[in-house]
Amino acid sequence: MAGPTGGTYDDGAVTKFLWVELRISPPAGHEAGEDGLTTLGLTLGTNYDPVNAAELATVEFSHYTTIAVASSFSALLTLANSTC
C-alpha cells in the first residue's frame, strides 16, 4: 500500500544520505563503495556525504534522510570500524 506520497519518500529539504566507509586503498579484487555511488549518477555533497566511522561522532544526523554503511565484503569497512 502506497502512502500519501504515492510510494515515494520526501521529507522536504533534507534529501542527502550519509555514506559510511573507510578511506583506504581497496585491497586486490575490491573497489571503494563510493565509486558505485558516482556510477549511479549520485553527486558528492548533493546526494550524499561520506564519513568514516571515527567521524560519526561529529555528524548532525538531522541533515540526512538515511545512513548507508559500506558492505564489509565488497566495499571498505573493517571489523574495527564497525564496532567503534
Whole-model pTM over 0.95: no
Structure confidence at residue 1 (pLDDT): 42
* Closest residue by Cα to residue 81 from 24, 22, 6: 22
Can you give the residue ranges of every domain in the chain? Answer: 17-82
Mean pLDDT within 49-69: 89
23 versus 3: the higher-pLDDT residue is 23
Closest-CA residue to 64 (of 19, 26, 22, 16): 16
Q: Which residue has the higher pLDDT, 9 or 16?
A: 16
Secondary structure in 3-state letters for 4-73: CCCCCCCCCCCCCEEEECCCCCCCCCCCCHHHHHHHCCCCECCCEEEECHHHHHHCCHHHCCEEEECCCC
Mean pLDDT of the chain: 75
Q: Is the pLDDT of residue 23 over 70?
A: yes
Stretch 11-32: mean pLDDT: 76
